[in-house]
Amino acid sequence: MRVPAEIVMYVRSMGKALRITAIFETKDEANAHMSRHKDQGVVARFGKYILLANLYDSGAEIIDQRGRDAA
């Protein structure tokens, strides 16, 4: 399912916050969506959920407020 514009979700990846554009429960659904939307790619998978983001999203830098010693 495509994430509606009024819902904003991010996932951390490589030190950046990437906006989630779609969520699917099966790889077939995710692959079908990506074949129709060439600018979309898998950014994460949590349990049964496959999260997609725009391939050209440079992300927002994440500044860790916990400090260097935080786990």
For residues 29 and 59, the answer to whether their CB atoms sit within 8 Å is no
On whether residue 50 sits in a domain, the answer given is: yes
Q: How many domains does the chain have?
A: 1
On whether residue 33 sits in a domain, the answer given is: yes
On whether residue 70 sits in a domain, the answer given is: no
On whether residue 67 sits in a domain, the answer given is: no
Q: Distance (Å, rounded) from C-alpha 68 to C-alpha 34?
A: 37
Range of the domain at 18: 10-55
On whether residue 4 sits in a domain, the answer given is: no
Residue 53, both tokens? 């983001």
- Those residues of the chain that have pLDDT short of 50 are 71
On whether residue 29 sits in a domain, the answer given is: yes
The predicted pLDDT at position 1 comes to: 79
Q: How far is CA 51 from the centre of its chain?
A: 5
On whether residue 46 sits in a domain, the answer given is: yes
On whether residue 5 sits in a domain, the answer given is: no
**3-class DSSP assignment, residue 1:** coil
Angle of CA points 12, 39, 49, to nearest 5°: 45
